[in-house]
Structure 1
Amino acid sequence: MRSTAPKDPMHTHYDAQVNALQGGRFKDPFSFLGVHSYKSSYEIRVFLPAAQSVSISINDKKIAAKRYNNSDLFIACVTEAPCAPYMCEATYSDSTLCFFDEYSFESSLDKDAMYLFNEGSLEHAYKHLGAHFVSQQGIEGVRFCVWAPNAASVSVIGEFNFWQANRHFMRFHPASGVWELFIAELKADTCYKFSIVTQSGEVLEKADPFAFKMQQAPGTASVLQQTTPAIKLSDSALKNRQKRNHIDAPVSIYEVHLGSWQRAEGNRYLSYNELADKLIAYTLEMGFTHIQLMPISEYPFDGSWGYQPVGLFAPSSRFGDYASFKYFIEQCHKANLGVLLDWVPGHFPSDPHGLHHFDGTHLFEHADVRQGFHPDWNTYIYNYDRPEVKSFLISNAMYWLEQFGLDGLRVDAVASMLYLDYSRKEGEWVANCYGGRENLGAIECLKQVNLRSYKNNPGIMMVAEESTAWPGVTQSVEHNGLGFGYKWNMGWMNDSLHYMQHDPLYRQHHHHEMTFSMVYAFSENYILPLSHDEVVHGKGSLIEKMPGDEWQKFANLRSYYAFMWAHPGKKLLFMGSEIAQRKEWDHNHSIDWHLLEHKSHTGIQNTVQALNNIYKTHPALYELDSSPAGFEWIDNNNNEQSIFSFVRYAKNAHDFVVVIANFTPVSYRNYELGVPSAGKYKVILNTDEDSFFGSGVEVTANAQGVISAKKRNAHGFAHTINISIGGLTTIYLQRVEDE
């Protein structure tokens, strides 16, 4: 029971502090708690809610502390100030606890780093802010740091203090707007948050923006995570990364949503460790060079697929812990399999424990709804003009690239960042300082992310999902570009899918949809994407987009894939599309692997596997993806037959592949085609083969699949070949011998 002794008139001036502490609102706890001189001696003041008695241990000597009036403030008088952190022993109704007084530790905040953070150039803010296991003055514990410059008070709350906001008040650093506190002897996997009192008196409970681990829904807390050193890539691994991501390398990306690629019994998620065994092996078997993970930065709602993250520094614990994710990435490295991660710097959700209205003000987002809110996604937009927000995003990109040694980031929704009027009507947006619609802050932020990412991580690839004609997306920053390495070719994707959905009878009227991409094919470094966006929201799966009867659907898809793999640009295919998934993608269920019981679906899988293997072993199909020297039309005007023919060249111009794509069900015998030179031509791919579930139309007159070119002018070439081509078929030919 608390003492009911009358107030000590010597300490009546503490009443205001006690009331503030009791109410959980104290901005400068170190000015009052801990050791302070008092008259000719010292007082040690501790505030411990619900404690019955408290003693202080200094040099193996216990000093009893007296309760201040009827409050939770305890004061011990000492003649000399302790020169090191001291222990407190607090007795409660059901227990006795011993702990180091948080207010006996010095600040360990790096002022130089905070200067860079406030300047907008701190590349490794995640090493300074957030919760870190550190040793302070010889004591092991956790240092908490959070940026909340406009808060009236901030406390650390968690399982260790029964979520009491009046127990662990943080130290405020006015120069940086950062709050800091060291708490000794905390353990990993302990939940915590920040209790923030706004200037208006509202109390907010926020997750840590820099947390390395977070609870799964319905939990909203951050979780203390003991991190390990960054993955150190060997010299050979660095060389492999640079080689596989280079502009003249074969890049074939398998886009994966980890939660629905495959499920375990009972519809359970596979863990990172299980995925390391199964997903990597399958991706290699299929011949892909890279895996692209849809966002795994922690997100509360499964249906957002990760595109509305609240924990930008936390690999989702749906699939395991931090160490398990690291193991998955390391296994990819061992397999020489590139790993790209979807990165979402364009917006964040409105979850109350997230970044929105973080310290009672629009800290991370623009205050003006015309700049700070996405009407399409019901999300908030980062204030890219704010230096600290820029440091936050730059350091997040560095975190994924440097801590895990990733091959790169695919930046989501870049167009929404670049344009102030993105998806807005007249009067619903605010022009920049020059009266234009360009988001100057976002442009500069993207440039800085790309510059620093490439400088600090040689050999990576930064990829933009940019759906407009913004110039210079893959130009260097020095040449006034955005500095990306690659850009998704959304125009090719839209046009070609639109073409394929037409009945072959009418394709002749839409011929330009398959040829127009070559008008701009070399203006950027492109990736051709058939991503998850094309198989959701009522769009249907790729196989169901194809017209015709059952056989024609599969023949269309095989021919289309082969056309895509031959078209200039790197490749990306969403999971399930390689087996002709029938249903739209559903994030709640596995891919329908049972479809592989049918030859038609196995045929699509075999086609994709063959395409990847041919692609990787024929430099003509990838070396000059971004150069006009790598492509030449043979005939781009045959709209009546809907046949497209072209040549892909390697850097060695004598090494080339001839491509013929027939997008009608009509088969042709002795089809005459101009070719670049004399010699013999061998069929290296025919999507109409029996092994692909094709009709098996013989392409050549001999079993070896070889055709001799004749001296005859056709299509602007001095030599021709005659070939049979099946309906809805794409064929690759390689010259194998000079005559």
Structure 2
Amino acid sequence: MNEMTRPQLDRGEVEALMTARHRDSFRVLGPHDGPDGRTIRAYLPGAQSVEVLRRSDRASLGTLPEVQPGLFEGAVADASPYLLRIQWPGAVQETEDPYAFEPVLGELDLHLFNEGRHFHLAEALGANVVTIDGVQGVRFAVWAPNAERVAVIGDFNSWDARRHPMRLRYPSGIWELFVPRVAAGAHYKYDIMGPGGVRQANKADPMAQQAEVAPGTASIVASPRPFRWTDDKWLAGRAQRQAPQAPLSIYEVHIGSWLRSGDSHGSVWDLAVDRLIPYLTELGFTHVELLPITEHPFGGSWGYQPLGLFAPSARFGPPEGFARFVDALHANNIGLLLDWVPAHFPTDPHGLARFDGTALYEHLDPREGFHRDWNTYIYNFGRREVQGFLIASALHWLERYHVDGLRVDAVASMLYRDYSRPADAWIPNVYGGRENLEAVGFLRHLNAVVAERCPGAIVVAEESTAWPGVTQAQPDGLGFSYKWNMGWMHDTLRYIEHEPIHRAFHHDDITFGLLYAFSEKFILPISHDEVVHGKGSLLGKMPGDTWQRFANLRAYLGFMWAHPGKKLLFMGCEIAQPREWNHDAEIDWALLGDPAHAGIQRLVRDLNRLYTAEPALYRRDAEPEGFRWLIGDDRANSVFAFLRQGHEEGGKGDAPILVVCNMTPVPRHGYRVGVPRPGRWREIANTDSRFYGGSDLGNDGGAVAHDQPSHGEAQSVLLTLPPLATVMLRAEG
């Protein structure tokens, strides 16, 4: 038990209790044993009387007179575990005394946290429903090492900062308190007094696993009930499904605007089970990637400025609804990737900013700790506790919610100290360079831990520079599974935006990407970033009249699906939505009544099916042997021809695929292309098909190779190239 104290507190300590400024409440509250027996002291402002009951038989052990306003103190008959019977105006409450419990976090928990290696951090910190000494309640724990006092406030104590001050576990910097009889669903925050006695804005819990629906900012005690998963078979096989040799076709979704529910109280996750999953299945996507669903204060940030890295946003439904969605995806053989943001966080006063009155999660110096582009704070990757916090968040989604991978946002901003900064606004590293060595260490640590603990899960880098070895193994590389190919995206979109008559002068925008296509394991992204902020829609980037715009889009999508690299397409692009994406409005589904838009959707469906059926289109995505130029220099005609190749096994391996793109509106008849095999080449895709809204010009099902050398091959085929179209032919010999 706590050490013996004087029967009465001095005026200074009473005043500190009354003003919520006492720094060591366990020293003065709760039971205190001395030579004359046990004294119990409780501070319960607003209570009318307090009686102490033996917990085992509810016998009275004594009453606690009110010795100061709200302060009750008195002797009890024995040292048995006890209850407090509190008479409030209009109600009687019976509860155990929070200050009668010993420290609740183990030394190993504290040690692992300070080392940045507590990978189940949400089970230690935050708010967890637990049973201690046979008493059920909630254990609250929060890291605030520079605070002078921390209290938990919530609907269970009328948000009164005087009621539940916490215990500091020195030197870990963690404050903890077990509050008996609080249950899942309780709303809470932390009242923090920083250095010098400066009280902070009430803080949401950084480790909260559930949050209040915006614009509310309270944390919620999450249910401890485990979800009953049914996806063992999926998890056992996902390593093969997500390997570099597998087809990955990813549909990127902002879950709040894909399809809006007419019932404002309905769960978006349940709607997604009913509508999104069948849509993904019909269109043949292997994965869905969600813009960040971690809790965030401002919907207009699309989740990219999150504050609750352990909580699915309450905008979309309860946490168990998200788990049901993941389980249903896996039941339909669809993987889930989440956008995850460990680079920075917003400055909202209820969040991580100056959390304990100091720069705790962030750097103090704005040259290291503030993004002027986004008005956000940058995580201090040099602190082990911060690294551990972020890695525990990643594992929370991968392990608790069975997510199949994370796409790490804004990696370039993490890697470079001078990212988007003038020369006088950044600090070099210890060697005088621009590399953020602490962030590099964090990313390597993250990827190593995920690889060790989450078999088959992938981590994808959104990295827009030429940083070497992003997807190479450690110790030389960063260890990511895949990297977004931002260069390919910028170059090819720039090319396709030109009028066809000018494309001859920009031929290298298509060919340049193949110079580095195998330096990393790439995903080709046509993401949300390309259809917002005045950039227009994907269809809107296409030049020409209406027919040419749709034909350009079809040709571009065919080229993308044939190009080395996994695929990612943002929602709405698959139906050629003409307007720019608006997060406050759902996709313009009515467009599917127009055959031109329905044709684009049908093309995406058929490209996905072809892609997953033809190993040559994916098996050697990351190997130079999987691609060969046949015609890369026909600038005058803006024609490109290349081979996609899989594995050869004594002539019985994967059939090669010939891809030819005609990026002008001029049909070309009798166009000769060298091919590596004699015999028939069957036309398996033609973006000019009438089924997609094209002119239906093609090759009558295929072509036969003749013994006429061309393009370095011993035989060649004569093809009809439709206008503004991509065609694919598979060797049948």
Same fold, TM exceeding 0.5?
yes
The separation in 2 between residues aligned to 1:202 and 1:582, in whole angstroms, is 53
Query: Given the alignment, which residue of 499, 503, 510 partners 1:503?
Result: 499
Distance 2:380 2:121 in 1: 17
Matched, 1:696 2:733: no
Distance 1:26 1:136 in 2: 26
**What amino acid does structure 2 have at the position aligned with 1:74?**
F
For the residue of structure 2 that corresponds to 1:203, the secondary structure is coil
Name the counterpart of 1:221: 218
Query: Distance in 1 between the 2:461 and 2:501 partners?
Result: 36
Note if 1:393 corresponds to 2:401.
Answer: no
Corresponding residue to 1:431 among 428, 432, 436 = 428
Shift of 1:81: 2.4
Task: Pick from 621, 627, 630 the counterpart of residue 625 of structure 1.
Answer: 621
Contact 2:38 2:79 survives alignment (8 Å) = yes
Matches within 5 A, 1:151-300: 151-204=147-200, 205-229=202-226, 235-265=232-262, 271-300=268-297
Structure-2 change in CA distance of 1:723 and 1:267 (3 Å): farther
Distance 1:60 1:264 in 2: 51
2:31 corresponds to which of 20, 35, 44: 35
Please say which of residues 383-392 and 33-42 is displaced more in the overlay.
33-42
Question: Which amino acid letter does the alignment assign opposite residue 333 of structure 2?
Answer: N
The answer for the alignment partner of 2:115 in structure 1 is: 119
How far the C-alpha of 1:67 sits from its partner, in A, is 3.4
1:469 aligned partner: 466
For the Cα contact (< 8 Å) 1:259–1:270, is it kept in 2? no
- Distance, in Å, in 1 between the alignment partners of 2:30 and 2:662 is 81
- Structure 2 residue 535 is the aligned partner of structure 1 residue 539: yes
What amino acid sits opposite 1:37 in the alignment?
Answer: D
Give the CA deviation at 1:242. Answer: 1.2
Q: Secondary structure at the match of 2:716?
A: strand
Retained in 1: the 8 A contact 2:261–2:268? no
Equivalent pair of 2:214/2:314 in contact (CA under 8 Å): no
Name the CA distance, whole Å, in 1 between partners of 2:561 and 2:231. 32
Deviation of 1:124 (Å)? 1.5
1:482, distance to aligned residue in structure 2 (A): 0.6
Name the structure 1 match of 2:3: none
Per-residue displacement from partner, 1:234-264 (whole Å, max 9, x unpaired)? 5522233112101100000000000000112
* Cα distance in structure 2, aligned partners of 1:271 and 1:238: 24
CA shift, 1:26, in A, is 2.1
Q: 1:73 aligns with which of 57, 71, 96?
A: 71
Within the candidate set 321, 330, 334, 1:333 is matched to 330
Q: CA deviation at 1:270?
A: 5.7
For 1:380 and 1:269, how far apart are their aligned partners in 2? Answer: 34
Secondary structure of 2:672's counterpart equals strand
Contact 1:63 1:76 in 2 (8 A): no
Structure 1: which amino acid aligns with 2:624?
Answer: P
Structure 2 gap segments, 5+ residues each: 1-5
Q: 1:509 aligns to what SS in structure 2? A: helix
Task: Tell me if 1:725 matches 2:727.
Answer: no
Asked if 1:684 is matched to 2:680, the reply is: no
Which of 453, 457, 460 in structure 1 is aligned with 2:457? 460
Conserved in 1, the CA contact under 8 Å of 2:67 and 2:73? Answer: no
1:564 alignment counterpart: 560
In the alignment, residue 662 of structure 2 is paired with which amino acid?
N
Structure 1-normalised TM-score?
0.96
Q: How far did residue 64 of structure 1 move?
A: 3.8
Describe how 1:353-432 pairs up with structure 2 within 5 A.
353-432=350-429
Please report how far the alpha carbon of residue 63 of structure 1 lies from its aligned counterpart in structure 2 after TM superposition: 3.6
What is the aligned partner in structure 1 of residue 342 from structure 2?
Answer: 345
Counterpart code for 2:455: P
Distance 2:730 2:228 in 1: 42
- Give per-residue Cα distances to partners, 1:556-597, cap 9 Å, x unaligned: 000000000010000000000000011100000000000001
| Partner AA of 1:404 in structure 2 | Y
CA distance in 2, matches of 1:132, 1:654: 53
Counting aligned pairs with the same residue, the percent is 48
Q: Find 1:53's aligned residue among 31, 49, 52.
A: 49
Question: How far did residue 79 of structure 1 move?
Answer: 4.9
For residues 529 and 65 of structure 2, the distance between their equivalents in structure 1, rounded to whole angstroms, comes to 64
CA displacement at 1:634 relative to structure 2: 0.4
Moved more, 30-39 or 249-258: 30-39
CA separation in 1, counterparts of 2:152 and 2:86? 19
Deviates more, 1:707-716 or 1:70-79: 70-79
Name the CA distance, whole Å, in 2 between partners of 1:393 and 1:371.
18
Distance 1:540 1:211 in 2: 37
TM-score between the two structures when normalised by the length of structure 2: 0.97
Give the aligned partner of residue 142 of structure 1: 138
* Structure 1 position 654, deviation (Å): 5.7
After alignment, is 231-240 or 32-41 more displaced? 231-240
Q: 1:103 corresponds to which residue?
A: 99
Aligned residue among 564, 575, 582 for 2:571: 575
Instruction: Tell me, in whole angstroms, the C-alpha distance in 1 between the residues paired with 2:646 and 2:310.
Output: 41
* Structure 1 residue 219, shift from structure 2 partner: 1.0
Q: CA deviation at 1:232?
A: 5.4
Deviations 1:5-39 (A, max 9, x none): xxxxx855432221111111222211111111244
Q: Distance in 1 between matches of 2:64 and 2:282?
A: 72
Which digits, 9 at most, give the CA deviation of each residue in 1:393-442, with x for residues without a partner? 01001100000111110000000001000000001001111111111111
CA distance in 2, matches of 1:427, 1:219: 39
In 2, are the aligned partners of 1:650 and 1:656 still within 8 Å (CA)? yes
Instruction: Letter of the 1:426 partner, please give it.
Output: A
CA contact (8 A) 2:146 2:357 kept: yes
Q: Which of residues 502, 527, 530 is equivalent to 2:526?
A: 530
Deviations 1:181-224 (A, max 9, x none): 11111122221000001122222210000001111222110011
TM superposition shift of 1:658: 0.1
Cross-structure match for 1:3 = none
Query: What is the number of residues matched between the two proteins?
Result: 722
- The Cα of 1:80 is off from its aligned counterpart by 3.4
Secondary structure class of the residue paired with 2:490: helix
The amino acid across from 1:292 in the alignment is E
Task: State the match for 1:660 in structure 2.
Answer: 660
Spell out structure 1 runs of 4+ moving beyond 6 A. 266-269
1:469-510 per-residue CA deviation (whole Å, 9 max, x = no partner) reads 0000001123x1111000000000000000000000000000
User: SS state of the match for residue 327, structure 2?
Assistant: helix
CA contact (8 A) 1:559 1:729 kept: yes
Give the aligned residue type for 2:272. L
In the alignment, is the contact (CA less than 8 A) between 1:54 and 1:64 conserved in 2? Answer: no
Distance 2:555 2:665 in 1: 11
Q: Distance in 2 between matches of 1:93 and 1:257?
A: 49
- Report SS of the residue matched to 1:161: coil
Deviation at 1:604, TM superposition (A): 0.5
**3-state SS in 2 of match to 1:556:** helix
User: Match for residue 23 of structure 1?
Assistant: 19
Structure 2 CA distance for aligned equivalents of residues 681 and 672 of structure 1: 13
Q: 2:65·2:74 contact (CA, 8 Å) conserved in 1?
A: no
Alignment of 1:583-598 (within 5 A): 583-598=579-594
Distance in 2 (CA, whole Å) between partners of 1:603 and 1:402 is 40
Kept in 2, the 8 Å contact 1:53–1:92? The answer is: yes
Give the RMSD, CA atoms, in angstroms.
Answer: 1.5
Deviations 1:100-121 (A, max 9, x none): 1111112220211211111122
Report deviation, 1:233: 6.7
2:486 is matched by which residue type in structure 1?
A: M
Query: Residue 68 of structure 1: CA displacement?
Result: 4.8
Alpha-carbon separation, structure 2, partners of 1:200 and 1:140: 36
Alignment partners' CA distance in 2, 1:240 and 1:246: 11
- What residue ranges of structure 1 are gaps of 5+ in the alignment? 1-9
The amino acid across from 2:683 in the alignment is: V
